[in-house]
Structure 1
Amino acid sequence: MASDGGRKQFWKRNVARVPGSIQHVYGAQHPPFDPLLHEILKPGAKQSTTPVKLKKVSTFQEFESNTSDAWDVGDDDDELLAMATESLNTDVVMETANRVIWNHSKLQEQHKLQEERVERELQQLSDLPPAASGDNRLVKSVSESNTSSSADGGNENASVPRSQSLPQTSTIALASGITEHSTSSPPALSEREASRLDKFKQLLAGPNTNLEEELRKLSWSGIPKLVRPITWKLLSGYLPANIDRREGTLQRKRKEYFAFVEQYYDSRNEETHQDTYRQIHIDIPRMSPEALILQPKTTEIFERILFIWAIRHPASGYVQGINDLVTPFFVVFTCEYTEEEVENFDVSSLPAEVLQNIEADSFWCMSKLLDGIQDNYTFAQPGIQKKVKMLEELVSRIDEQVHRHLEQHEVKYLQFAFRWMNNLLMREVPLQCTIRLWDTYQSEPEGFSHFHLYVCAAFLVRWKKEILEEKDFQELLIFLQNLPTMHWGNEEISVLLAEAYRLKFAFADAPNHYKR
């Protein structure tokens, strides 16, 4: 166990203090730490794939038939747990969530076995003499067949033959605000992905989109990339449900934003606002992904968005952490105009009018998000401190062993979980995982404030084995601040969300939930 002096020095090194009116950010680190480069990962460490033992529930057969086998691997996930809460008891919900986790674990184990088999085949081929092995085409064929079968096992962007690709943009798609701005062909979709996309398109093209009963329900398990921009705008409350009012609302709100820019942005050079603008200017290059943020045009857009928001919200002003919350919106809305991965895309190649639309839409949607969690960023950030305390008490109930281990080594939840709340886990998982996470957050009631707490609890307990192996204060804190998630994808996020949902139903309605 580290001495008091060692802990103080370590804590001092890992607390980012900002002068002036900018609030402190604990545990912030830029850029994100790579455990592989610093030998944080234990050699040979593997994720447990032991299936969760399921408890028999007498009413489960009836529930299963009502949800159309929604929890079988590869089937439609539209009838998710979040929408069945009123008619199901807690045991049924927990049983079903456990099945989701077990199915994902089984799928992950199958992928792993398949990869090992192909590696053995490739190794055998490489050991053969040239005459026996033919040429590299055989090796390439084996490798490509494995890649194709693995990708089709659940990845949102799985590749399939062109014959299954979705038809070109229809009148329905155009009417709902789903447009093809790219000249390149859309990526091929699996039959299941095409079916889900069609459901979204039909729902969005209706005269009045049913947000609560249908769109949120459909979005919980992930939103197809093509319709994600318009869906996020609707779920965030930026656009109205009535399709006839959407275009007028967009034009009005975009003009309103640039009126704010014209009115306030020049004041960034005034002495009153210099500290705020300077801190924004310093923070933006530290954001992720670096290839996108370091583009001059992107930097200008982010600086305007953050400065205008800070000026219009004097109760909090700009606080480190808010800068990260712009990125998902900016990336999603940019994808509306290009098929390329945004991290490698030259944003300045887009027309000026398109960039203005992306900027204004990102500002308003970020503002809507922050409206629900603004106490996270007011003086002393009471919202975050309260949520960290709630997380500590929740973990003490769901996994006492992990909680006691942290207590025993004097690791405070504020030392690692402050950033989880301040940045909504954006510093802990890859950007695409954050976007998938936000699909669910926007479809959940109070997703960014309330449901996020359960996601953080599931996220912490997910690393139970590794946490219990660490016997030193400093090593524990290093691990918790730099978790090995750089290779995570949609599958890991789906498992995390399922576990968070199970925890929510097990504890959210308990009257003494947060009391010892």
Structure 2
Amino acid sequence: MRPLRDAQLGAFTFFASALPHDVCGSNGLPLTPNSIKILGRFQILKTFTHPRLCQYVDISRGKHERLVVVAEHYESSLSDFQRQGKTASPEMVLKVAYEVLEGLEFMNKHGMVHRALAPNNVLMDHKGNLKLAKFGLYYMTDRGGDVDFPIGYPSYLAPEVIAQGSFHASDPSNEEAPLPSGPKSDIWSLGVLLFEMCAGRRLLHNIEISERLKFILTLGCMDDIVTVLAEEHGCLDTIKDLPVNVLELLRKCLIFLPSKRPTPAELLGDEVFNEISCLYMPFQKPLSLFSSSLRCAHLELPEDISDLCKEDYLSERAIDEVYYLWCLAGGDLEKELTNQGIIQSKPPLCTLPKFLLEDGESFGQGRDRSFLLDDTTVTLSLCQLRNRLKDVGGEAYYPLLEEEQSSLPQSASSQDLSTTVTLPLIIRERDTEYQLTRIVLFHRLLQAYPYKRDLVWKDARVDIPPLVRGMAWAALLGIEGDIQAKYEGIDKDTPIPTDRQIEVDIPRCHQYDELLSSPQGHVKFRRVLKAWVVSHPDLVYWQGLDSLCAPFLYLNFNNEALAYACMSAFIPKYLYNFFLKDNSHVIQEYLTVFSQMIAFHDPELSNHLNQIGFIPDLYAIPWFLTMFTHVFPLHKIFHLWDTLLLGNSSFPFCIGVAILQQLRDRLLANGFNECILLFSDLPEIDIERCVHESIKLFSWTPKSATYRQHAQPPKTTAVTDGNGFGRPGTYYFSDYQDMPRTDLSREPLALSELKAELSPRISAEDLIDLCELSLAGGGKRTRAGRPKIVAVDVRSAEDFNRGHLSGSVNLPYSSAFGPDGELVQCPGTGVLHSFRGRVIVVISHFASHLVKVNFPRVCMLDGGIIKMRSTGLLTVPSPQI
């Protein structure tokens, strides 16, 4: 969006038509409220950025089908000029006509018309440039069908619009809707507006509306409408004295028959604008972040370099950003409208409907005028926001992106924000100053993407501002290139067998959300899902794919191509081959590894669940098939995925374990039936706690412990962080599968063999790496200074003395475990209990015995001591002298 600069934020409100409560659609579901339909159509208007159009910012839905629209606003308009009663100069008339036509032509290219063109909707900035307001009202209300008031002003409506009459979509008596207004309707409205400027008076202002409409329709019998209007208003001499080009412009606009009236594009190229058209530069569409064009190709410094040094830094921020901060600073739309008298509350008694008795006597209230359109725009005061940000220094608006920034002295405000980072995420997301600094930083990082991709990863570890979450996720997923061209090249229209299942699933997917439940949301859902199915012929549509799509579509509602690209990058990373036609082997391996992760981190819970037969197959498939989007609402998924996207494909295992640990007490106290009921209606989960626990679990999990042979094959390049394991709060970005394969790597196991093992396996190279780091004191130590990992060799003392891993502990199986696998009392078991809490790597096949006696963080060395013999790292004890 464009910067705020001298603009203001304005809000206006109206009501959508109410629908009957006892009527259902053809699919048997309740009808979608008109306000939600309008909300869905409105979204595309936010993408329209043109110098002649006021930028739409947001729409909110209130009670009783009330909608409040926020848009760019200016106090000055052509109505101010009309009230002065002066006639406009020919130069001004041509300037107004040309700039309005520019805005109309841009709208027409996007399939829209204004229909409400009037002087009060033609605003002027401080430089006198025109901007059209309320241009989306006709489109968002489905040509007026979703509201109880007509779109447009009678004095400015074209004759063909008046002749069609009114139409209401919910009225069953209207079998056919009138034809939609075309671009030529706005040309008539422009002609009336220009005529009023030339005459210095309002057209038919003092005549009743019915007489006014009749008069306009009778103009069809006239040859020269401009002359007739001038005679009617007593300004014939004034009109005749106009220059030829201005008079010709009026006559071309005020042509009664639409077939002979020009369109805005045709009129812009007319010779009447030969002298003025050269003064305007053609509009260039801003380049998107993900495109094939060079984003810096058209960058220019302003003519006055002092424009870069303004002290009003807030005015240089984007309009949507300023509005977002305004809301965080305590802004309330309905309160602002109530203070201005636009919203008025009435006692229930005064809102009773009107009814008639048999004798014709009527009781109750007449039609409530408040439900009609009040086109008053209320200016939203930014004083509260500016006061809130007055202590934020200018350096916060222009942060340095390199490491040198750490050596700079910090201002008092930045020091305060450093303490804010430690607060809970929900508080940080509502802190105005903190969000400002984070949004500005991410905007700069994303503008430099992909060059600054590493810094995006680094700052995303702290948190991701909700306002830029969609783009930040795309950067984390590595989206690049001309995604729009690729998306447009996919056939999304030809019917396929999956269409029926998609149609059934969409009306059930996150329909509590107003945006996704709108008809526009359903259309976009359908297109993105179908694009994915068509572009992945080796995969199939499984139920749950719609839930996976929902977060990406919500964040990129106006950019289907980006939603599709993110989804296409997300699925191979976290759900590789989950959508095969026969995915049973992939799912079973995934659930088995998850079961081993439960045993690794919480053996007591794992033993209990296995004892009662409550296996992950009964509850975890929807978790992982949808990456928890089927389980949690969107606002929780956003916080969860902010962290998930920073981890590798094994991070979901840690999320699953973290969820179980929040339910741990109830699970341990219940049997099979109670656990089934518990998961049929999952209790409230603290997502922030879940995220923190997941990171902690992830930092304790060796890389190779989550190895899966059906995971994504190695990539040629990977973003790695070698310090991932052992440092809580640090992420390990690369998958174990991305590491080069050696003789010491984990070997794939048959599914039956994998299921027979309670604890996970760890590769020999992983063990060597971790042991070397811990022995060298390289950070892999507990708070008490002890190594986090210990190797336990359960061979006999004789075999141990022939060669063992340096630092390993010998605990012969025959002396430590009884015939039934129970741990018996011996000198070695006392040592073993001192290792509780550390990662215990058993160099044999007896790790399951430790799991059964509730030892946490137990894993088994893949290949045993045999693999270690080829490394040359085995040692023998020194002889005793």
Q: Determine the C-alpha separation between the residues in 1 that align with 2:463 and 2:552.
A: 15
2:486 partner letter: E
Q: Given the superposition, is the C-alpha separation of residues 265 and 333 from structure 1 closer, same or farther in structure 2, using an over 3 Å criterion? A: closer
Give the fraction of aligned pairs with identical amino acids, expressed as a percent.
23
Alignment partner of 1:311 is 2:534 = yes
Show the counterpart of 1:164.
389
1:424 matched to 2:635: no
Match of 2:663 among 463, 469, 477: 463
The answer on 1:197 being equivalent to 2:439 is yes
Alignment partner of 1:387 is 2:590: yes
Contact 2:655 2:691 in 1 (8 A): no
- Which amino acid in the other structure matches residue 552 of structure 2? F
Tell me the distance in 2 between the aligned counterparts of 1:207 and 1:406: 46
The residue aligned with 1:439 is 642
Task: Give the gaps of 5 or more residues in structure 2.
Answer: 1-383, 400-428, 707-724, 726-761, 764-840, 842-857, 862-881
Could you say which residue in structure 2 is the equivalent of 1:482?
681
Give the TM-score, by structure 2 length: 0.31
1:195 Cα offset (Å)? 3.4
Asked if 1 retains the 8 angstrom alpha-carbon contact of 2:450 and 2:475, the reply is no
SS at match of 1:404: helix
How much does 1:210 deviate? 2.8
Secondary structure of residue in 2 paired with 1:265: coil
CA shift for structure 1 position 232: 1.5
Paired position in structure 1 for 2:697: 500
- Label 1:494 to 1:294 Cα distance change in 2 as closer, same or farther (>3 A): same
Aligned residues: 296
Give unpaired runs (5+ residues) of structure 1.
1-158, 174-186, 240-248, 335-354
Equivalent pair of 1:395/1:457 in contact (CA under 8 Å) = yes
Residue 267 of structure 1 aligns to which amino acid in structure 2? T
| 2:572 equivalent to 1:371 | yes
CA distance in 1, matches of 2:475, 2:530: 25
Asked if the contact 2:654–2:695 (Cα under 8 Å) also holds between the matched residues in 1, the reply is no
Superposed, 1:80-479 pairs within 5 Å as 162-164=387-389, 189-206=431-448, 209-212=451-454, 214-239=455-480, 249=481, 252-260=482-490, 264-268=491-495, 273-274=496-497, 276-290=498-512, 291-334=514-557, 355=558, 358-372=559-573, 373-381=575-583, 382-444=585-647, 446=648, 449-471=649-671, 473-479=672-678
Instruction: Write out per-residue CA displacement over residues 305-356 of structure 1, whole angstroms, 9 at most, x where no aligned residue.
Output: 111211221222211111111111112224xxxxxxxxxxxxxxxxxxxx3x
- Given that 1:392 and 1:413 are in contact with CA atoms closer than 8 Å, whether structure 2 keeps it comes out as yes
**Compared CA separation, residues 204 and 258, structure 1 to 2 (3 A):** closer
Amino acid at match of 1:237: G
**Could you list the per-position Cα deviations for residues 168-224 of structure 1 after superposition, in whole angstroms to 9, with x for gaps in the alignment?**
9x9979xxxxxxxxxxxxx97344443333432343344753323x22121123200
Distance 1:326 1:398, change over 3 A: same
Q: Which structure features the higher share of strand residues?
A: 2
Q: Measured at CA, do residues 207 and 419 of structure 1 come closer, stay the same or move farther in structure 2, by a change above 3 Å?
A: closer
- Residue identity opposite 1:223 in structure 2: I
Deviation at 1:167, TM superposition (A): 9.9
Cα pair 1:419 1:425 within 8 Å, conserved: yes
Asked which structure has the greater RCO (Cα within 8 Å, sep 6+), the reply is 1
After superposition, the C-alpha distances for 1:80-104 in whole angstroms (9 at most, x for unaligned) are: xxxxxxxxxxxxxxxxxxxxxxxxx
Displacement after TM superposition at 1:427 (Å): 2.3
Checking the alignment, whether the CA contact within 8 Å between 2:397 and 2:437 is kept in structure 1 is no
1:349 maps to what in 2? none
Q: How far 1:161 moved relative to its partner? A: 8.7
Structure showing the higher helix proportion among its residues: 1
* Cα-Cα RMSD: 3.2
Report the CA distance shift for 1:514/1:317 in structure 2 as closer, same or farther (over 3 A).
farther
Distance 1:188 1:454, change over 3 A: closer
Distance 1:255 1:302 in 2: 19
Q: Secondary structure of 1:375's match?
A: coil
AA aligned to 1:367 is S
- Per-residue CA deviations over 1:447-498 (Å, capped at 9, x if unaligned) read xx21111111222122110111212x12212213432127x45x33443333
Distance in 1 (alpha carbons) for counterparts of 2:436 and 2:528: 35
CA distance in 2, matches of 1:160, 1:494: 32
Secondary structure in structure 2 of the residue aligned to 1:292? coil
2-structure distance, mates of 1:209, 1:195: 21
Structure 1's 167 and 296: CA in aligned 2 closer, same or farther, altered over 3 A? farther
Name the amino acid aligned to 1:409. I
User: How high is the TM-score relative to the length of structure 1?
Assistant: 0.52
Distance change (3 Å), C-alpha of 1:361 and 1:206: closer
1:329 & 1:207 partners in 2: Cα distance?
19
- Read off the aligned partner of 1:253 and give its amino acid letter: I
Which string of whole-angstrom CA distances, capped at 9 and with x for unpartnered residues, describes residues 398-425 of structure 1? 2121112111211121111111111111
Sort the Cα spacing of 1:233 and 1:417 in 2 relative to 1 into closer, same or farther, 3 A: same
| Distance apart, 1:259 and its partner CA | 2.5
Deviation track 1:76-131 (CA, whole Å, cap 9, x = no partner) reads: xxxxxxxxxxxxxxxxxxxxxxxxxxxxxxxxxxxxxxxxxxxxxxxxxxxxxxxx
Counterpart-to-counterpart distance in 2, 1:227 and 1:163: 21
**Equivalent residues of 1:217, 1:443 under 8 A apart:** no
Query: Structure 2: how far apart are the matches of 1:434 and 1:222?
Result: 14
